[in-house]
Structures are given as C-alpha cells and as structure tokens.
Amino acid sequence: MKRAISVLAALMLGACTHAPQLARYQPPAQAGFVNAPDQAASSEPVAEFWTRFEDEQLSSLVQRALKANTDIRSAAASLAESRAIGRLADADLWPSVNLNAGAARVRAKDSNGVPKTDNAYSVGLDVLWEVDVFGRLSDARRAAQAGVLAGEAGYRAAQLSVAAEVARNYFNLRGLQEQLRVAVASLETQRAALQLVEARESVGRGTALDTERARSLVNSTAASVPAFESALARTRYRLAVLCGLPPTGLDAELNDPRPLPGLKSFNIGGVGTPENLLRRRPDVQVAEAQLAAAAANAGVARSAWFPTITLGGTLGQNAAHAGDLGKGASYAYNLGAQLAWNVLDFGRIRANIAASDARADAAVANYESAVLAALEETEGAFINYTRSQQQAALLYDAVVASEQAALIARERFAVGSTDFLVVLDAERELLSARDRLAQAQSGAAGSLVVVYKALAGGWGGP
C-alpha cells in the first residue's frame, strides 16, 4: 500500500507544464510622473479617496454605492464563479469515487437453450483517476487560478470605477446647483434693471431700445434656468441608480444646494511611482491575469499531443439474492489502467494549438495596451488637474473684475454719464464669468477625482 501511495505521489509531482513563456511588456523605467503636482508626495495614494474631501454626504453616497451598485454585485458574482471554477480545477487533480447499487431481474437462455429467470444485486465503489503525467490538468488548474486573480482585480476595478463615478456626479451636481444659483441671482438683478429702464422710459428719460435690450437679457437668462434644472434632475437620477435606488430615490436628500469643497489649498497627497502604479492598477492586474490564463490554456492545448493515463477500479459485491450481499463469496473487484493516445486527428490538435497561441498573442498585446493606457490616463489626469486649478484661479479673478465693472457701469448709468448698452454688456460678461467659474470649480473637483481613479490607490483584496 505504501508503495502504491509513493508511486501515485511521484506521478502527481512529476506532472510537467507545456505552457509557453510569454514575454510581458516592460515600459521604460522612470522615477516619477512627469506631470505630477509639485506638492505631491512619493508615498502611496489613499484607498478611500473620497474621505479626503471631508463631505459627509459624499462619503455616505459612496458607501451605499459600494454595497448596492449593480455593477459591483455583478463583479462579485463573476468572482464567485471564477472561484468555483478554480475549486473544480483543483478537484480534477484527484480521483473521483462513486457509490453505486443496483438490482435487476434478467430472463435469458442458459447454455442448454432453456429460458431462465434470475435476479442480480450489486453494490460497490467505482474509482477513476486521470494521472496528470503530461500536465494537462495542472495547466488547466493554473488557468483557473489566473481566472480567480482576474476576477478579484475586476471586482476592485468595479469598486474603484463606481466610487469615482459617484464622486464625479456629486461634484457635477454641486456645480450645477451653483450655476443655477448664479443664474437666478443674475435674473433678479436684471429684472430690477428692467424695471428701472421701464420707469425711465415712462418719464421720458429712457428709450424703447434700452427697454427691449434689457428685456432680451432677462429672457435669455431666464431660458438657462430650465436647462440647469433638467441637468440637475438627470444628475440626481444618475446618483440614485449608482447607489442601487430608483431614479428619484435621492431627490429629497440632494435637493438642497451645498457648496463644492474648497480645493485651493487641497494637498493631493501621495501619488506613488509609475512602477508601483502598474502593480496597483486593477485593469493592469486583470490583463496580467488574463495573460497568465492564456499561457496556461496554450499549455493545455499542447498537452493533447501526449497520451492520457487513467487508473480505475471497482470494489463491490455481486449476488443473486439480496441476502447474500455481505457474504465473502459475493465480494468482487477489478483494478486496471488505460492509456489513450490520439494518433490520427487530421490536424485538429495542431489547429487548436494555433488558435490558443493566437489568443496568447492577443493577451500579450492587451497587457501592453493596459500598461500604456494606465500611464497615459495618469499623466493626462495630472496635467488636467493642474491646468484646471489654474483655470479656476484665473476665472475667479475674472469674476471679481466683472463684478467691479458691472457696479461701475450701473453707477455711471444712474448719473447719466453712459448709456444702458454699457450696463447690458457688463451684466452679460458678469453672468458669463460667474457661470464659467462655477463650471471650472466643478471641473477642478472632477479632475481631482480622475486623478485618484487613475492612481487606484491602496485597494486591498475583496
């Protein structure tokens, strides 16, 4: 018995692999990111990036989305499936043992040609084991393990994507609320100016041209309000669905306007290094796992060149009467081995190997694409973040100047030193500057979210 166990163990450990060695793309080494902000540290980025904005409502929305979002639940189900497939591949390395029992009544002619009816009873254990001498099952197991790694990375990618999408839409919501507030406030000022111009016209101090120009500005500004309200509603609906709720599920909670977080003195924190980024990014991890799975599956295809060796046997009892089961004379067994080798397949194996090699080549290209895309996205996120910060700062100065210009224009018109056209131009420019500033501030916050998403910081296993 000990000798048999030793032989079986040797056969299992001696299984080889025919998986090809696929070369992974290695980008040129660089110490840091070219476009990283000056204040950024080289430490690893934080995982729960949304907490750094210190907005309780944002944190609540992200936490709800991470629990209830349909994309994350789908990724979790895919991960559970890949783990089950992995356990199945592990089990294939071991024997299968089946218990069987049967009873039959047989009528047939005996050796003398006389019809005879007999009963047959049986009970026993069937054992079947494919010995993995040439590595087919081992390579299949490696492919399944790579599928588990891809599922785990896909789950993390779904978490990161949903958290970033919630944060981006949340900042977009706050930016739209600010744009709506600016439009409503400007509309009140413009309506007051229209009343003033109408009053001046009624006493002969103004012209109908000034009145119609003022009315046109009021109507133009008023026309922007429904557009903002529509965009706000759609953004609330998007946030609700991201959190696994019906579209109107967050209307009451998100209806009240809140300011965007102050980003002027925001420290982006750690950004890590490009080398660590490629180890951390879940999309790169998925591509790497798919590359490993493709190599292992290519090994499975190559193992078809070699024979399969199966050990099997039955240990049981056969008797003509049920009461005889368990007696010494009823015991029966058989043990044996089978070798199967495909010696003529008309090119099937070769074609299957060629197909698996092509899939492996595609996996190599996909991995390189994922690496380059990760580096491109990160550098692009950095440059967009720094430039959007500069844009917001300049637009803030523009708003201050436009407010001062509008104030001067109204004062000069009140004393009759300028016409109303100057006032209208100043009001239009002020409204435009305020609207651009609100968009820039929302964009700056969103660009910071994109930075954190590109960095994919600190996400642990699911």
**One digit per residue, pLDDT tens: the chain, 462 residues?**
444 444 444 444 445 778 888 888 888 878 788 887 777 766 777 778 888 888 899 999 999 999 999 999 999 999 999 999 999 998 888 888 888 887 887 777 777 777 887 777 777 778 888 888 888 889 999 999 999 999 999 999 999 999 999 999 999 999 899 889 888 888 888 888 788 778 877 877 777 887 888 888 889 889 989 999 999 999 999 999 999 999 999 999 999 888 877 655 566 777 778 888 888 899 999 999 999 999 999 998 998 888 888 888 887 777 666 666 666 666 777 888 888 888 887 889 899 899 999 999 999 999 999 999 999 999 998 899 889 888 888 988 998 998 899 888 888 877 777 777 787 788 888 888 888 888 888 888 888 888 888 888 654 443
Domain count, the chain: 2
Residue 460 domain-assigned (yes or no): no
| Kind plus residue range of the DSSP H or E element containing 191 | helix 136-202
- Please answer whether residues 450 and 384 qualify as being in contact, where contact means their C-beta atoms are separated by less than 8 angstroms: yes
Residue 462 domain-assigned (yes or no): no
Q: Is 345 strand, coil or helix?
A: coil
Looking at residue 62, the DSSP 8-state letter turns out to be: H
- Residues 311, 430: one domain? no
- Residues 404, 288: one domain? yes
Residue 352 domain-assigned (yes or no): yes
- Residues 151, 58: one domain? yes
- Residues 54, 199: one domain? yes
- Please answer whether residues 252 and 6 qualify as being in contact, where contact means their C-beta atoms are separated by less than 8 angstroms: no
CATH of the domain at 249: 1.20.1600.10
The DSSP string of 242-293 is HTTS-TTTTHHHH-S--PPPP-TT----B---HHHHHHH-HHHHHHHHHHHH
Residue 461 domain-assigned (yes or no): no
- Residues 112, 141: one domain? no
CATH of the domain at 314: 2.20.200.10
Angle between helix 420-455 and 348-414 (nearest 10) = 150
- Residues 50, 82: one domain? yes
- Residues 323, 334: one domain? yes
- Residues 267, 402: one domain? yes
Q: Single out the residue in 286, 321, 340 at which a domain terminates.
A: 340
Beta strands in 93-198 (DSSP E): 96-109, 115-131
Residue 335 domain-assigned (yes or no): yes
From 53, 175, 152, select the one nearest 61 (Cα to Cα).
53
Tell me the C-alpha to C-alpha distance, in Å, between residue 204 and each of 151, 198, 264, 355. Answer: 78, 10, 50, 88
- Residues 300, 314: one domain? no
pLDDT digits (tens, 9 = 90+) for 404-423: 998 888 888 777 777 777 87
- Residues 269, 326: one domain? no
176-188-237 Cα angle (round to 5) = 25
* Domain that includes residue 364, residue range: 2-93+133-306+348-455
Residue 392 domain-assigned (yes or no): yes
Contacts of 260 by beta carbon, 8 Å cutoff, 6+ apart:
171, 174, 175, 178, 441, 442, 445
- Residues 54, 68: one domain? yes
Q: Single out the residue in 281, 316, 340 at which a domain terminates.
A: 340
Q: What's this model's pTM, rounded to 2 decimal places?
A: 0.82
